[in-house]
Amino acid sequence: MKIKKMDLFSLIKKNLLLAVLCCLVLIKGFANEQIITKTILLDCLELNKMEQSTGRPHIVSERANLSIGGRRFLNGVPTRTESSLYLELDGKVSEFSAEVGVDDRSTLFRNDTVKKENSWAQFFVIGDGKVLWQSGEMKYGEYSKPVKVNLSGVKNLLLKVTGGPGNTHVDWVDAKFNFSGAIPETVWSPEAKVNIVKSTEFVHQQNLKYPVPRINGAMKVGVRPNTEFYYPMAVTGLRPMKYAAENIPEGLVLDEKTGIISGTSLKAGEYNVRLTASNTKGEAQRILRIVVGDKLALTPPMGYLSWNVVEGLINEAFLKELADVFVQFGLRDVGYQYINMDGCWQGGRDAGGRVYPDQFRFPNGMKVVGDYLHEKGLKFGIYSTPGPIDCAGYTGTMNFEESDVESWISWGVDYLKYDGCTTPPERSAELYRKMGDLLRQSGRSVVYCGKKDAGSQLWRVGGDLRDQWSLGGRDVGIVQSFKNAQNRAGMQEPGRWNDPDMLVVGIRGKGSSGNDKTDEKGCTDEEYRSHMSLWALMSAPLFITADVRQIDPVSLEILTNPEVIEVNQDPLGKFPVRLGEEAEQEIWVKEMEDGSKTVALLNKASVEKEMKVKWEEIGLKGSHLVRDLWHRKDMGKFKSLFSSVVPSHGVVLVRIY
């Protein structure tokens, strides 16, 4: 995330006005009865389901900067052409009103050479398949046009914008619904629904293809003495599944129906627990090493971070839907645990200095969110900064460290991402260490992403990763991010991890921050597969940022390959070693705890190449079994070397036994 200078008074004023408008209730009296007509802003609905040509919609803030024809607007939904938002109504929405127009901002990162003065757009309100209102062609610099549409009886609504020359900034401002029944609900586009159906079928087919239980995820976990322990077994295979565990330490219990081991660990030491998962097709067993002591995150954390795609549209409904999908699509079953909010969740501080969430996006408070995630076998992560405000201008933790930690612990937080942003440089080291100390003393084993040598379990080692194979400057692509981690390979060990930034697999050009440096459509399947391979080799934290609620099946397959994830979660946590010098074709070798070696043939060139690794180069002699991890099949025994044609920007990932 990037630092944004904001007028705090203006931000507070805007949020208060928005809050009032979000829940404005008008009561109209009639002779024999009262009909309550409610009004809700379009801004206050779940907008993550809006589809647009590039980027994502935003909430209104300084970064949105809404202005049409020189006139500024307090609230609205900025988007791009082409754009569509589908809604389901109950027939009791009486009216939709708004003003629309081409935003005064230039259209950035366009491939064409057309000036912004030639940008144009058309707005449509379509109900039950019929055009109820259209703007006609609107040009850059023109005043906004008012919209007022009778929606009585309408069940399906589409707000659509077309235009040119491409990716033009456009706005629905002061947009609101008057309704007497249920709140209008945003729904997925037909294209997104196709992805959901395909991914659901993919999960079903995977269970049929690999029906026998397989235990995945972290097999060595750390927890502090006398703190709550929570470990959901990650198991793939046909359901229903039975779970069992032997030699569980005193104070912990296994829920045999869910496979969750929980309780309060007591004494320092290492405990070997034999896990068993069984179904009608077979049984799997593995040893889980529980280390009660000072170290956490003994294998790299895995989960979700909301910034690259969701940004300021984070809300309770999104997090709950995301948790449901992590279970439905098998992400939890291969080891992803943490559902982490990035910035923009904060509402402010009360009179006593206690931080509270935005009350309209989190109407039930944060503890409800944490409890929901835990019930789903997941963990809860939060975001803040040592500075006074975070990168997006929301409430920071500076001078409220003790209070914030108390709040987070009461909400059930399991992970903290602490981002520098507005932190005073001269106090940075002190403030990061203070947070590390407070978390250590909090009575909860909270994984901490902060600064090295500040009590953190992981820390960033480079610029913000974009949904691109290669980029220059501070904001990097996959190649540069991998390079940044190589330069710091000696810094990491189990419990102390380099973080080269989040996974961009599955964004496909539809990110917000993930795609704000280019107009291209994100990475290819091959590049996504290479991205996942390299992060697995590096033992990098694996945090998905695509909206997996409507992810495509190819991306889902890349993210959920348990054999690739096993490389990432290997307890040795070794950084791979490159054979030879840096080049367009590179061979990387990772030592595994069981004595095997994982080898990656990496082709950074723009054309495919045949590559080979000789056994003598990696300290082997004789015949060895080679297993292709992406195809999940044995390739056979090879006497002296292994070779393969590697696609452009691709990786062939094998494990040698």
pLDDT category, 107, cuts 50, 70, 90? low
Residue 41 tokens read as: 């802003």
Q: What is the DSSP string of 135-204?
A: ---EETTPPPEEEEEE-TT--EEEEEEEEESSS-EEEEEEEEEEESSSPPEEE--HHHHHHHHHHHHHHH
Report, as an integer, the average pLDDT of 288-316.
94
How many CB atoms lie under 10 A from the CB of residue 504? Answer: 28
User: Is residue 104 domain-shared with residue 225, that is, in the same domain?
Assistant: no
Tell me what pLDDT residue 115 has: 63
Residue 7 has pLDDT above 90, yes or no: no
User: Is residue 603 domain-shared with residue 633, that is, in the same domain?
Assistant: yes
Half-sphere exposure at residue 331, Cβ-oriented, CA atoms within 13 angstroms: 34
The reply to whether 469 falls in a domain is no
User: Is residue 155 domain-shared with residue 275, that is, in the same domain?
Assistant: no
Q: Which residue, among 147, 150, 148, 152, has the nearest Cα to 180 in the 3D structure?
A: 152
User: Is residue 150 domain-shared with residue 256, that is, in the same domain?
Assistant: no
Residue 523 tokens read as: 């990475």
Tell me what pLDDT residue 112 has: 43
* Residue 333 appears among annotated catalytic residues: no
Helix axes 366-375, 401-411, angle to 10 degrees: 40
**Phi, psi of 37, deg, nearest 5:** -100, 125
pLDDT category, 519, cuts 50, 70, 90? low
**Phi, psi of 316, deg, nearest 5:** -60, -45
Could you give the CA distance from residue 548 to residue 56 in angstroms, rounded to a whole number?
Answer: 15
**Phi, psi of 162, deg, nearest 5:** -120, 170
pLDDT category, 105, cuts 50, 70, 90? confident
Among the candidates 265, 292, 319, a domain finishes at: 292
- CATH number of the domain encompassing residue 637: 2.60.40.1180
pLDDT in tens, 253-264: 999 999 999 999
The reply to whether 474 falls in a domain is no
- Among residues of the chain, what percentage have pLDDT more than 70? 92
User: Is residue 285 domain-shared with residue 319, that is, in the same domain?
Assistant: no
Report, as an integer, the average pLDDT of 636-640.
96
Fill in the DSSP letter of residue 595.
Answer: S
Among the candidates 266, 292, 318, a domain finishes at: 292
User: Is residue 21 domain-shared with residue 143, that is, in the same domain?
Assistant: yes
Top-confidence residue, 453 or 62: 453
Report yes or no: 73 and 67 within 8 Å, Cβ to Cβ: yes
User: Is residue 23 domain-shared with residue 122, that is, in the same domain?
Assistant: yes
Could you give the CA distance from residue 228 to residue 263 in angstroms, rounded to a whole number?
Answer: 6
- CATH number of the domain encompassing residue 316: 3.20.20.70
Residue 25 has pLDDT above 80, yes or no: no
- Among residues of the chain, what percentage have pLDDT more than 90? 81
- CATH number of the domain encompassing residue 42: 2.60.120.1060
Q: What is the DSSP string of 372-427?
A: HHHHTT-EEEEEE-SSSB-TTS-B--TT-HHHHHHHHHHHT--EEEE--TT--GGG
Pairing relation of β-strands 585-591 and 597-603?
A: antiparallel
How many CB atoms lie under 10 A from the CB of residue 342? Answer: 27
pLDDT in tens, 130-178: 999 999 999 999 999 999 999 999 999 999 999 988 788 899 999 999 9
Query: With 0-12 CB in 10 A as exposed, 13-18 as middle and 19+ as buried, what is 204?
Result: exposed
Among the candidates 392, 422, 452, a domain finishes at: 452
Residues 6+ apart with CB under 8 A from 555: 505, 506, 508, 525, 528, 546
Pairing relation of β-strands 169-179 and 130-134?
A: unpaired
The reply to whether 227 falls in a domain is yes
Residue 343 has pLDDT above 70, yes or no: yes
User: Is residue 132 domain-shared with residue 228, that is, in the same domain?
Assistant: no
Tell me what pLDDT residue 351 has: 96
* From 43, 333, 419, 499, the catalytic residue: 419
Residue 528 parent element (H or E)? helix 525-537
pTM score: 0.92
Which range of residues forms the domain containing residue 419?
301-452
Top-confidence residue, 547 or 21: 547
The reply to whether 552 falls in a domain is no
Tell me what pLDDT residue 2 has: 43
pLDDT in tens, 178-223: 999 999 999 999 999 999 999 999 999 999 999 999 999 999 999 9
User: Is residue 120 domain-shared with residue 33, that is, in the same domain?
Assistant: yes
The reply to whether 524 falls in a domain is no
pLDDT in tens, 557-616: 999 999 999 999 999 999 999 999 999 999 999 999 999 999 999 999 999 999 999 999
* From 358, 464, 501, 516, the catalytic residue: 464
pLDDT category, 61, cuts 50, 70, 90? low
The reply to whether 545 falls in a domain is no
Cα radius of gyration rounded to whole Å, the chain: 26
Report yes or no: 121 and 162 within 8 Å, Cβ to Cβ: yes
**Phi, psi of 120, deg, nearest 5:** -150, 165
- How many domains, in total, are found in the chain? 4
User: Is residue 107 domain-shared with residue 172, that is, in the same domain?
Assistant: yes
Report yes or no: 456 and 436 within 8 Å, Cβ to Cβ: yes
Residue 635 tokens read as: 């390739």
User: Is residue 157 domain-shared with residue 305, that is, in the same domain?
Assistant: no
Residues 6+ apart with CB under 8 A from 208: 238
Could you give the CA distance from residue 397 to residue 399 in angstroms, rounded to a whole number?
Answer: 6
The reply to whether 468 falls in a domain is no
Could you give the CA distance from residue 466 to residue 478 in angstroms, rounded to a whole number?
Answer: 8
The reply to whether 562 falls in a domain is no
**Phi, psi of 503, deg, nearest 5:** -75, 135
CA separation (Å) from 584 to 447, 489, 612?
37, 20, 14
Q: What is the mean pLDDT of the chain?
A: 91
Report, as an integer, the average pLDDT of 469-489.
91
User: Is residue 26 domain-shared with residue 157, that is, in the same domain?
Assistant: yes
Could you give the CA distance from residue 452 to residue 118 in angstroms, rounded to a whole number?
Answer: 49
Tell me what pLDDT residue 20 has: 46
* Residue 570 appears among annotated catalytic residues: no
